[in-house]
A and B are shown apart, each in its own frame.
Chain A
Amino acid sequence: MKRVSLVVTLALAAGLSAQAASAQTLKTVKDRGMLSCGVSQGLPGFSSPDDKGNWTGLDVDICRAIAAAIFNDASKIKFVPLSAKDRFTALQSGEIDVLSRNTTWTLSRDTSLGANFTGVTYYDGQGFMVKKALKVNSALELNSASVCVQQGTTTEQNLADYFKGNNMKYEVIAFGTNDEAVKAYESGRCDVFTTDVSGLYADRLKLANTADHVVLPEVISKEPLGPMVRHGDDQWFDIVKWTLFGMITAEELGITQKNVDEMAKSDKPEMKRVFGTDGNLGEQLGLTKDWVSRIVKAVGNYGESFERNVGASSKLGIARGLNNLWSKGGIQYAPPIR
């Protein structure tokens, strides 16, 4: 991974002028015939390759949806696995078109990295996992503990804030990749492993005895995860942003992978706008009129993707909670398509 960051740094330094200042990402992607999407190095439920090398997950579905909207083919993607500390450099240098890698939206990341967040695909928060044998029931009992964490994440900073704020001592051991941190936790080097709660459930599946580990009830931070694009290309920013809104709108309107063709025949004015049978909203985005049905056919609506990857029917078994639609007690909400 070190090599990747060095190479992209040099690329940055050499100043790929065409890549940097241009507002041509859509054209570049179309010419290349492929979307380049930055994902994690393997986080079940969000982005991980299966035994055949196919990438699946909620973050992956966002990229597939973008590819479907552009090419009407959700397979025209090159996935680039990135460690937490290399992800922004890869986006800045133009190595990837969109970063969809469980990345927390913060002010400093939104302003100083030369990139923008396009929305929130998953509302998360940071939690702690400990061995059951320690008989710890609350994060406030973790004074003097050793904590394993992946470096280059907001997790590292939240951790420092939380222990300092509660006047507790701790020792942090930061690893380059998530897997190394999990391995060190499993080997007993640390008492605690910390990351976003969704990640804790995903990583727990990788441990030898899943039942020996518990996730503590405290959620110590807000971690809105979302995709990022480079500054300076508003059209591309809009496309990535509205791809997610398209998926959420589809769920709001009850459009699913199964009934999408039927729903497209609907006479309702709202449906006609969404499906592009009335007006040219998709073309205003730089896509085609049927962009929503392309997306839903490829990956389903937001709720379907959630259930399939992280929801109750998946291995992770995470409840919708905050990620439910606004009309169902959550806070997922899409501006109107009109």
Chain B
Amino acid sequence: MAIEPRKPPSQLLPRLQRALGGRTGWSGFVLQLLFVAALAWICYEIVANARANLQAQRITAGFGFLANTAGFDVSQNLIPYSGSDSYTRVFLVGLLNTLVVSVIGIFFATLIGFIVALSRLSPNWLLSRIAGGYVELIRNLPLLFQILFWYLAVLAALPNPRQSISIFDSFFISNRGLVIPKPIGTPGFEPFVVAVLVAIVAAIALSRYARRQLFESGKVIKVWPYALGLVIGLPLISALIFGAPVSFEIPALKGFNFAGGARVIPEFVALALALSTYTAAFIAEIVRAGIQSVHKGQMEAGSSLGLQRGSVLRLIVIPQAMRVILPPLTNQYLNLTKNSSLAVAIGYPDLVSVFAGTTLSQTGQAIEIIGITMGVYLLISLVTSAIMSFYGWRISRSMG
């Protein structure tokens, strides 16, 4: 009797069942389907209901308002803006203001944070106590209070423009902010920029070459004098041939304020200061924890190779610590960006202030504007997370 080989049962159906329904099979799938359907129905109801009610009350709805004229001015605009521009332009102005204060805040928070963390771990008793005191003081005071402190207690105490503190008669510090000479491009500007770029590329290539030499033949080439010569020399030659790249517009007191020059408004300074010092206190603790999580043996191994303390930290400890530091550091970056919306308390024209504030009140279209604003913050946060994840992925890859 011939034995027919038994066909293996088809795996397709059970697999599909598991994928859709989990361990419980089809009944689980049905439940999930119902859940998704209910969620979709709730969302639909919310939108439909809101739309019907807005219509019933004859409240304007939709995004048409974005093209209307704004009719109000903004104290800090990184792109050209005047009151006759549209609400879309206001949105961009606010968004850029939020981004610039966040980026500057993140930069300084990281810098101060690392310095404080390293100081706290330093064998120097005084230094480590000062760093510890900084962390405890700053992180235990509310952020809004710190913003108001910088704005109302520190910066407002500066003299008025007529008695401003002047440095070389071209930099002026007053309660209207910092006024600096404004660079204006001349015909020599383009060759100068080219020269700088060429010099930077050459310097990078040089250092790569030196690094390869180090790994391949163990030869140490001192590269920085050449790099420095390139970066300073090339632009200098360009300036000598084509003339100075920029001329400066010197600010002068005219009427109530300075005319000409570029200006950093005190609202920006207060907000950036408060955000970076506040977040730095948290970053310092994160960095300290990260460094301490690296086994002591690593430090000792580095020292036994004859490396200096600084080199051990830079080459051995911090790269390993970064794996621990990165996720909570990302959180702090996100917090800083979101905290920048406290700007409204001191009149810094960020996104929440000019768009979710003035624009909302002028148009009355709360749902659309709050929706857009929430979307933008979500997007900024997701992009920040993505960048940090990419960085983390590179670190872990490089360490194998």
Contact = CB atoms under 8 A, between A and B. Distances in A.
Interface of A: 2, 5-6, 8-9, 12-17, 20-21, 84-89, 92, 108-109, 111-114, 134, 142-146, 148, 151-153, 156-157, 159-161, 164, 170-176, 180-181, 183-184, 187-189, 191, 230-232
30 contacts: A2-B344, A5-B356, A13-B46, A13-B50, A15-B46, A16-B53, A21-B56, A88-B361, A89-B366, A92-B364, A92-B366, A112-B60, A114-B58, A114-B59, A144-B254, A144-B255, A145-B255, A151-B353, A153-B361, A157-B362, A160-B83, A164-B83, A171-B257, A174-B75, A176-B344, A176-B345, A180-B347, A184-B347, A189-B175, A231-B58
B186 interface: no
Contact of A187 (B82, B156, B354): B156
A214 to B, nearest CB: 16
Interface stretch (B66-74, B196-204, B229-237, B327-335): B66-74
Contact of B75 (A172, A181, A191): A172
Given A12-B366, A14-B46, A172-B74, A232 B83 contact: no
B324 interface: no
B370 A189 contact: no
Contacts of B362: 108, 152, 157
B357 interface: yes
Given A13-B50, A156-B358, A172-B75, A191 B256 contact: yes
B329 to A, nearest CB: 27
A191 to B, nearest CB: 5
Contacts of A9: 366-367, 370
Contacts of A174: 72, 74-75, 347, 349, 353-354, 357-358
A108 to B, nearest CB: 8
Given A92-B57, A172-B72, A180-B347, A189 B357 contact: no
Interface string B33-77: 000000000000010011011101111100000000001111100
A9 B372 CA distance: 13
A165 to B, nearest CB: 11
Contact of A157 (B58, B72, B345, B354): B72
B360 A5 contact: yes
A114 B255 CA distance: 44
B352 interface: yes
Given A12-B50, A173-B75, A188 B59 contact: no
A219 B367 CA distance: 35
Given A13-B46, A183-B152, A112 B59 contact: yes
B128 interface: no
Contacts of A86: 361
Contacts of B361: 84-88, 151-153
Interface in B344-390: 344-347, 349, 352-354, 356-358, 360-364, 366-367, 370
Contacts of B176: 146, 171, 189
Nearest to A191: B256
Nearest to A233: B57
A157 B363 CA distance: 13
A158 to B, nearest CB: 9
Nearest to A6: B370
B266 interface: yes
Contacts of B255: 143-145
A239 B49 CA distance: 29
Contacts of B46: 13-15
Contacts of A144: 254-257, 259
B339 interface: no
A176 B147 CA distance: 15
Interface in B149-198: 152, 156, 160, 175-176
Contact of B72 (A84, A88, A111, A160): A160
A136 B73 CA distance: 23
A111 B54 CA distance: 13
B347 A175 contact: yes
Contacts of B73: 156, 159-160, 170, 172
A171 B75 contact: yes
A111 B365 CA distance: 12
Contacts of B57: 20-21, 92, 114, 230-232
A188 B349 contact: no
Interface centre among B60, B72, B156, B364 (most CB of A within 10 A): B72
A21 B363 CA distance: 21
Given A13-B46, A174-B358, A88 B364 contact: yes
Contacts of A184: 156, 346-347
B367 to A, nearest CB: 5
A232 B56 contact: yes
Nearest to A155: B72
A117 B165 CA distance: 51
Q: Which 6 A-B pairs have the closest CB atoms?
A: A152-B361, A15-B49, A114-B59, A114-B57, A144-B255, A85-B361
Given A92-B366, A171-B176, 17 more contacts: A9-B367, A15-B53, A17-B49, A86-B361, A88-B364, A144-B257, A148-B347, A151-B358, A152-B362, A156-B72, A157-B72, A164-B83, A173-B265, A174-B354, A174-B357, A189-B175, A231-B58
Contact of B56 (A5, A20, A191): A20
Contact of A173 (B56, B254, B347, B363): B347
Contacts of A13: 46, 50, 367
A189 B59 contact: no
B348 to A, nearest CB: 9
Nearest to B367: A13
Nearest to A1: B344
A9 B373 CA distance: 13
Nearest to B83: A160
Contacts of A232: 56-58
Contacts of B354: 174
Contacts of B352: 2
A174 B60 CA distance: 25
